[in-house]
Amino acid sequence: MRFTKDHEWVEVDGDVATVGITNYAAEQLGDVVFVETPAVGKTLKAGDGFAVVESVKAASDVYAPISGEVVEANGALADAPETVNAAPEAAGWFAKIKVANPAELDALMDRHAYETYLQTL
Q: Measure CA 71 to chain center.
A: 14
Number of amino acids touching other proteins (CB under 8 A): 25
Closest CA relative to residue 107, chosen from 22, 17, 2: 2
CB of 101 to other proteins, least distance (A): 22
Asked if 85 and 20 count as a contact pair (C-beta separation under 8 A), the reply is no
Q: Which of 15, 40, 61, 86 binds other proteins (CB under 8 A)?
A: 61
- Which CB sits closer to other proteins, 15 or 107? 107
Q: Which of 21, 46, 64, 77 binds other proteins (CB under 8 A)?
A: 21
Q: Which of 16, 34, 48, 100 binds other proteins (CB under 8 A)?
A: 34
Closest CA relative to residue 77, chosen from 69, 87, 65: 87
CB of 52 to other proteins, least distance (A): 7
Report if residue 55 touches other proteins, rule: CB under 8 A. yes
Alpha carbon separation from 23 to 2, 20, 43, 69 (Å, rounded): 13, 10, 26, 25
Q: How far apart are CA 69 and CA 64, in angstroms?
A: 11
Q: Which of 14, 39, 41, 57 binds other proteins (CB under 8 A)?
A: 57
Applying CB under 8 A, which residues contact other proteins?
Answer: 6-8, 21, 25, 28-31, 33-34, 36, 49, 52-63
